[in-house]
Each structure stands twice: as structure tokens, then as C-alpha cells.
């Protein structure tokens, strides 16, 4: 009887050792990402056409494929001579049409955005800024998440910044 | 005496179970955390998102690659705006305004030197749904350097800086970061 117990205890010890080794060496599955990981406020820098067109964006993906709000501010030097209105007024300003904008993120963290920007800046016409436009991006979420599961950074490449039909790219930071 | 051994074995089993669970939850310790002079292929592992551009940033692309820590890749995708090749069409859904490619893993590989620099050759195959103006499949090469700071417990680096040859088959120098 005692011999059996002794063998059992040895078997358990062996099993545990193997289990521990397995636990330490098993490859870990990739985290699954989704639209839920893109939420809250992001500040983005974007450029296209050899960095001739540049813009900053502040927007709020809602974690489920839509946006709560968004603002795009672009340097007007691409369209007029500085300063036209004033040093602080020479910017083209747009507001995100949230009803016409959306995004999707696949499980590998890559996805697409469709962003409909409405011209709303008071000086846009004077500065020769482009009118309202639709931009689209291919976007990838970094797998570095905050406590609520939102990514801290995304990378994107865009197809139509400021409606100029030029490829561009940039990043968004939490 | 035997009873003590039995109790000890049970206690060890409980600890082992906890260890197994812990091992399943924490990142693998199969690769060493990188330090100057001891980088290897194992430090380039799992998923990276790369933001690439070439030709004065005229050609741009977003890639998602999955190096396996052993010199090859498990998969990869690339999306590049069609507007470098044909007019953007705002009436189309986003995937139709990008040239898509998948990584031919059999024709792709990478090698990391002990100093943390590396090279990779990536063979990209076009999606059958691509706009006809998109470039055909192409081979590109990258030289990259790995960051040390912030490496994962598994040893995987969180960022590389890349300079590339032949993005989108355009025979132009390019560059960009890859982020975990």
C-alpha cells in the first residue's frame, strides 16, 4: 500500500513538472482585436502627396464601428499664400459627418475607415480650401491597449486626404 | 513519514496546477529579452503593423506581418491606396479603393543579426479583386533595426525601424516603422 502511494506521489510530481514546463513554453495565441478596441479620443497626424498636404485630426471612434465626433484641421499653405486671413486663421477646417462615416476592424487588428468630412471652417472659402470630401483609410491597430481595452496607437494609409486623390499616411495616438 | 510525503505531493500538485495556469496566461519565456549583442530571430515574433512609404512618400502602404520567431512568417497582408495608380472613387467601399496583397510565406523570410539589425525578403501576391491598375505581385526587401526598450516578456521587440527596397514593385527607396 505504501509502495503504491509512493509511486502515486512520484507520478504526480512527474506530471506537475511536465505541466509546468508546458505552461512556460506553450506559444501564446495572438490577442483577438475588433472594433471595440478602437474607442475614445485619438489625435492623428496625416500627410499625402509627398507630404505636401498635411492635417491633424481629432476624432472619437465609439468602439462599435461609428464615430462620436471628429475635427480635421489642415494647413492652408497648400491652397493659398500665407498669411491670407491671419497667421492663426490660415487653416482649412472640417467636421466629421458621423452619420456618413464608419470603420471596421478585423480580428488581426487591420481594417478600413470611411470618413466623410464636411467643410465648416469660417475661412475655408477665402483660403481656397477644398470642399467637403470623403477619405478612406486602411488602418491597423497596435496591440498595446489601455485598461479599457482601447489601443494606444493606430497606423493608417489614406487614399484621398482633403479630396486631393493622393495616397497618404499617418498615425493616431490616444 | 509516508503520509507527509503524500501531503507534500498533493501540495506540489496544487502548486503545479497553479503554475500551469500561470504559464498559460503569461507570455512565453522562449526568447531572451534583447540586450545589445544577443538579438536573434526569436525577438521578431507575432504581429507587427508597419506604416511604409516610398518615393518621397508618394507610394504608401500598411502591412500586417506575423514573423514566427524562427526566420519565416505565418502570414501577412498589405493594403495600398489606389490613388497612386488610378483615381479614388468615393462611391466605392474602402476595400475597393486599396490594392490588397497577401504574403507568400513560402517565398518570404527574415534574418536578425546579434546586433539587432535584420533583413527580410517579402513576396507579395495581389488579391484577385484588385483594381486592374494596381501593381502585380512583387518582391520587396527591407533592412530593419530593432528597438530594445519596451520588449515584451516573451522577448519580442515592440518596434522596428525599416528602410525598404521596391515597395509596390516601384523600384523606389522607402521607409517606415513596424509596431507591435
ipTM of the complex: 0.79
Residue A151: closest CA among A138, A137, A141, A163: A141
Q: Is B94 on the interface with A (CB under 8 A)?
A: yes
pTM: 0.82
B85 and B19 in a common domain? no
Query: How confident is the model over B60-91, as pLDDT tens digits?
Result: 999 999 999 999 999 999 999 999 999 999 99
Domain match, B49 and B113 both: yes
Work out the average pLDDT over B147-151: 92
Helices (H) and strands (E) in chain A, counts: 2, 9
Whole-number pLDDT of residue B158: 96
Residue B34 in any domain: the answer is no
- Contact with chain A for residue B90, Cβ under 8 A: yes
Which domain covers residue B10, as residue numbers?
Answer: 1-29
Supply the pLDDT for residue B10: 57
The answer to whether residue A4 scores a pLDDT higher than 70 is: no
Same domain, yes or no: B50 and B93: yes
Q: Is the pLDDT of residue A18 over 50?
A: no
| Interface list for A 38-77 with B (CB within 8 A) | 47-51
Claim to verify: residue B50 and residue B99 sit in the same structural domain: yes
Does any CB of chain A come closer than 8 Å to the CB of residue B97? yes
Strands (E), B46-179: 48-54, 59-67, 73-81, 98-103, 109-112, 117-126, 138-146, 159-165, 173-179
Tell me, yes or no, whether B168 lies in a domain. Answer: yes
Amino acid at each position: 500500500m505504501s509502495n503504491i502511494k509512493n509511486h502515486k506521489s512520484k507520478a504526480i510530481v512527474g506530471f506537475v513538472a511536465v505541466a509546468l514546463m508546458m505552461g512556460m513554453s506553450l506559444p501564446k495565441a495572438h490577442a483577438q482585436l475588433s472594433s471595440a478596441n478602437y474607442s475614445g479620443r485619438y489625435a492623428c497626424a496625416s500627410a499625402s502627396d509627398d507630404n505636401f498636404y498635411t492635417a491633424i485630426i481629432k476624432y472619437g471612434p465609439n468602439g462599435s464601428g461609428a464615430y462620436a465626433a471628429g475635427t480635421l484641421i489642415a494647413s492652408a499653405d497648400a491652397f493659398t499664400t500665407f498669411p491670407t486671413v491671419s497667421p492663426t486663421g490660415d487653416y482649412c477646417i472640417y467636421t466629421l459627418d458621423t452619420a456618413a462615416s464608419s470603420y471596421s476592424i478585423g480580428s488581426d487588428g487591420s481594417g478600413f475607415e470611411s470618413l466623410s468630412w464636411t467643410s465648416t471652417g469660417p475661412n475655408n472659402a477665402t483660403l481656397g480650401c477644398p470642399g467637403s470630401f470623403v477619405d478612406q483609410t486602411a488602418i491597423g491597430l497596435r496591440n498595446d491597449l489601455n485598461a479599457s481595452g482601447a489601443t494606444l496607437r493606430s497606423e493608417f494609409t489614406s487614399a484621398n486626404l482633403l479630396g486631393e486623390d493622393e495616397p497618404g499616411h499617418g498615425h493616431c495616438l490616444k | 513519514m509516508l503520509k507527509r510525503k503524500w501531503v507534500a505531493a498533493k501540495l506540489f500538485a496544487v502548486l503545479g496546477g497553479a503554475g500551469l495556469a500561470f504559464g498559460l496566461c503569461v507570455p512565453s519565456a522562449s526568447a531572451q529579452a534583447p540586450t545589445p549583442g544577443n538579438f536573434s530571430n526569436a525577438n521578431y515574433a507575432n504581429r507587427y503593423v508597419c506604416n511604409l512609404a516610398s518615393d518621397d512618400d508618394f507610394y504608401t502602404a500598411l502591412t500586417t506581418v506575423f514573423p514566427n520567431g524562427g526566420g519565416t512568417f505565418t502570414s501577412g497582408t498589405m493594403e495600398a491606396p489606389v490613388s497612386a495608380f488610378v483615381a479614388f472613387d468615393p462611391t466605392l467601399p474602402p476595400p475597393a479603393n486599396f490594392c490588397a496583397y497577401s504574403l507568400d510565406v513560402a517565398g518570404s523570410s527574415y534574418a536578425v543579426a546579434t546586433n539587432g539589425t535584420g533583413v527580410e525578403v517579402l513576396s507579395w501576391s495581389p488579391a484577385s479583386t484588385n483594381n486592374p491598375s494596381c501593381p502585380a505581385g512583387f518582391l520587396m526587401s527591407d533592412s530593419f533595426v530593432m528597438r530594445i526598450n519596451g520588449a515584451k516578456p516573451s522577448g519580442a521587440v515592440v518596434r522596428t525601424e525599416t528602410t525598404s527596397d521596391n515597395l509596390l514593385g516601384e523600384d523606389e527607396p522607402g521607409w517606415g516603422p513596424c509596431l507591435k
